[in-house]
Amino acid sequence: MDHVLINEGLVHIRIPPFEKVSSRAPVFYNPVMELNRDLSVLALQQFKSEIEKGLSICDAFGGSGIRGIRYGKEVSGVDGVVINDVNPLAVSLARDNSLENGLDNVTVCQMDANLLLRLCKGKFNVVDIDPFGTPSPFIDSVAVNLPRNSMLAVTATDTSALCGTYPEPCIRKYGSNSLKTEYCHENGLRILAGYLSLSFARYRKFLTFKFSHSTEHYLRLYATISKGAKKTDKSLKNMGYIAHCPSCLNRQVYRGMAPIVDVKCTRCNHLMRVAGPLWCGDIQDSDFISGMIEKSSELVLNQEKNAIKLLELCKAESGAPPTFYDIHTICSKLKISAPPLKDLLDRLKAEDHMATPTHFTPTGIKTSAPLEVVESLVEDLVKKQKFYPEK
């Protein structure tokens, strides 16, 4: 069989040719995920710099082997990488690709991911879950496996469920109700983060989310694991719900697993819609992301510019409240044209509100200002700059 040569970072792999990226491809490889893999290498390198021992990594859904091979070759201080897949062709190809890259710290195996993680309990301090679709069936096995001072990296590609297009599968897979709103991708990340946190809490473990992003067709989260019943209980206070008003775009965050939620909007009296339970705490760590940015100059990354741009936006989001405002959505409700985003950010900051662009959409802002303040400033900017549409 002819093979296509792929070059990423410091490695090269060979894969069978295929017409379309899907689970039916002979061996799974997605070129669109190159940015994801670049960011993964940076995240693991930063994690390694924060702990005092080598990394033992499990790439539970190896496919062509590209991710695990890059970990083994590009991340310093890696003691070993296990690349796993149930597809025998993928296993054979990953093994050949690891040998072709001269790696002696990579092992390739063919096993059900849940079984592998259960059998290797405590043997890994980094587990990467990147399945085709939902990661939910594998999280309990990871929660059992990972000890304290370890890292979990998770990808979810079932964004139609997590982001509200099909809420029933989200309830079935994550035990949470999703909503289709302008900030639905952030809600999706928070639902995933909440599901992970509750899964680990069963084993008296809690997560600290270091970096997360929504890109293309997927959601990605990185978290470190700590242990202790009291601290786990305290961590779960970050669980909660987000109530959204589809009429006036008002939103309210309710913390706790069983809070009293206002059924009607306090602003316009319209019936509110509720997403959750989900994670209401931080999903970005400024220091961790800064470390990733610093390390980008030390590595060979084909998507370096895109990676740094994304990281800078995510870093700025650290400490911001949940949800964001889409200025075009607000202006559509107000029946006016949208002012420049920078002008609105400048006005919000001048009035001592936290305000930053968001990586979720180029027309969105995260801010501590309430909706009525944002609307007032938008209208004022439009009047001053004569952005009202012609009648």
173 plus 49 within the same structural domain? yes
Q: What is the mean pLDDT of residues 329-343?
A: 95
Q: Considering its fold, how many domains does the chain have in total?
A: 2
60 plus 197 within the same structural domain? yes
226 plus 308 within the same structural domain? yes
228 plus 181 within the same structural domain? yes
From 276, 301, 317, the end of a domain falls on 317
User: How would residue 387 be classed by pLDDT, with cut points 50, 70 and 90?
Assistant: very low
170 domain residue, yes or no: yes
| pLDDT 10s digits, 239-295 | 999 999 999 999 999 999 999 999 899 999 999 999 999 999 999 999 999 999 999
Terminal CA-to-CA distance of the chain, rounded, Å? 64
CB 365 within 8 A of CB 344: yes
Contacts of 284 (CB under 8 A, 6+ apart): 209, 210, 211, 212, 314, 315, 317, 318, 319
Q: What is the mean pLDDT of residues 148-176?
A: 97
261 plus 362 within the same structural domain? no
159 plus 270 within the same structural domain? yes
177 domain residue, yes or no: yes
Q: What is the mean pLDDT of residues 380-385?
A: 88
- Domain span at residue 153 reads 4-317
User: How would residue 16 be classed by pLDDT, with cut points 50, 70 and 90?
Assistant: confident
390 domain residue, yes or no: no
70 domain residue, yes or no: yes
Whether residue 391 has pLDDT greater than 50: no
Run of H or E including 106: strand 106-109
| CATH assignment of the domain containing 344 | 3.30.56.70
| CATH assignment of the domain containing 58 | 3.40.50.150
What is the pLDDT of the chain when averaged over all its residues?
94
User: How would residue 21 be classed by pLDDT, with cut points 50, 70 and 90?
Assistant: low
230 plus 370 within the same structural domain? no
Helix (H, G, I), strand (E, B) or coil at 227: strand
94 plus 190 within the same structural domain? yes
258 plus 358 within the same structural domain? no
Whole-model pTM?
0.95
